[in-house]
Structure 1
């Protein structure tokens, strides 16, 4: 019984909830509700993020002609567009293609007039896809900054506050470059709290952060900032523009899809299938392994004592956890790391019973379809996951310590690989307790 695989029916149920969450953030549906008024002049589309190409294709269909522009997305995430140019670049560490994409977006909004409309399609992943180092810095400096931030374990808000002060395009600068044209930003949020200024480091949405704040964050999270970046933050002649700047007076920002809406859609799908659903939060942050421990404790309490929720129930949560890399690091991402920590903690705490392995099953996945560096969005786990790993001669604790959760779930055949989804509303976690 130790090596019994996860019940296919439970996997299918949880996959259905993930699909419902992703469908709620579908670009076409979300954009159709948020189209701006047509301008007297040109319509120029710009965009960045893992779902930017799908958003651009949907916008073209909904808007019709004439339209022009350029968007950048991750390699392999492109979609065919008739008029809008799609550029693919590297994520999570920027490359030369991203540098060319930033230049193309800035060129697309140059020379526009007050009768022109710029539609910015912004979603998660845009920070890495829009490298534009200021004078005195290089692409390698920006890549080094991204690597340092990814290893630091700092929350996404802190990372983006620093990125905004070391860029010619982030922190509202792209919208400022479009002035005097009107800019309407249509944002698919992948950040806790849904602040549009934080999505993709806000290329078209200014924020109140400045270089002094960025330096405080570097110290608070002990970020190993490259020397050239620290000098820039200390000596740059100006901060990123603030919301009160006159260049943004006519602009508009609309969050058209978010983790909250997607979790509500997943809850509705569960209830339609006869399973009660509760949403813990759509804005959970912290170390992935620590968040896994908390979720395991809640799940065990429900399984053993029917509190604070009575089974059958599915527990849903979203947000964006972090992974602080120690050592070389293995294969994985924040969702698989969360799930391996969860699986270790739930073992022996009501995670499985003699009645069968279906008593508690969890799915954790990134709604953009990619978790970390591999091709999986996340994975499945149940109360026997840790024991199944040991039966194969693998040590769950050692794999977790090495940040190698991908290898753990790959060995069990429990990776979740839906492919690119065309959207991104952060992490999705669902724990089914029967």
Structure 2
């Protein structure tokens, strides 16, 4: 099948590449001419395990092309996927101006039947807006004879495992009011569900809500465990034991029951805010989701609270090593990362930071550009611990899981670790002479 994907960010590039790898002809479109130029050279703008190799392979085999012209992208396409950003404003409202602009450009350039599939995460009612924009433009062109259909097809991709998620999805959600279009979408996705995972056909509004609901539920589990972890620290419990105690209940399950320094990234924070705003606009108070957001924002300060209780409010002259800057491992994404809050709080109180992350250094330099004189970036985890007053583990990259503890002690000024991801066992750290603080395992500085 012939497919156009508009937007070559995280979702768009993965969507286009994976469709191409299944034998489809795909044109990826982006208004950023420099990005398209680099993509044509095989240089991808994001880090995602396996993506570089997949892009190169499909380009070489002629199934994946890049262009900055929507007209070229949709010329032979049956499906046109919209995968542009919908950032959240200060007021919590999702900005869909990029989607509106794309819909307008599609309607100006289309000259045959087209299935327009929204892959971006959007508020309820966005599909109707897209339909109205295209209808109005076709009317202005006097091409009301052109048929088109609108589909909501939310993505459920985890950064760091996105290719696996796309190739072997738990489910595929398709929102459409047209039976014929539903069948065509099923044909497109059939190669990805040979393991019999479901393709769910539903109305467009429900499909638009499903993405927000899924992310809000997962965020709720995280914030719940973080709140329980704080309670454990106060009463002497161990959140690792609590996790086993509730996670082995089949009604609950184990995923997303880890305590830590809070969630971040491009999805959870944005989608939680958006669904709160959607409720407000429709007269529904989203009390649980609002609490989830509040707990998460507070959690990002939890490691800082520990550290200040240990070292005092004034950190002038103190030097801290940081392992992990991205919001999660296997990505370079710094959006809403807990490291941003933690590092800025340390710098505000006079400390300096030496930071290491396997992939996110360049992104971090942009985030902390205003205070770069107080942050040193290093290309090795060992360099980040040289003569530091304490090590702070923020992102759970695999290479941090089993460090040489004797080597750590040799290089650090003081053998003190603040672990925001509960990577290590408190008893082992104590046996090896470390002062160790983690989340919800009764290690909080009392």
Normalising by the smaller structure, the TM-score range is: 0.3 to 0.5
Greater Rg by CA: 2
TM-score, reference length from structure 2: 0.35
Instruction: Normalising by structure 1, report the TM-score.
Output: 0.36
- Answer 1 or 2: higher relative contact order, Cα 8 Å, separation at least 6: 1
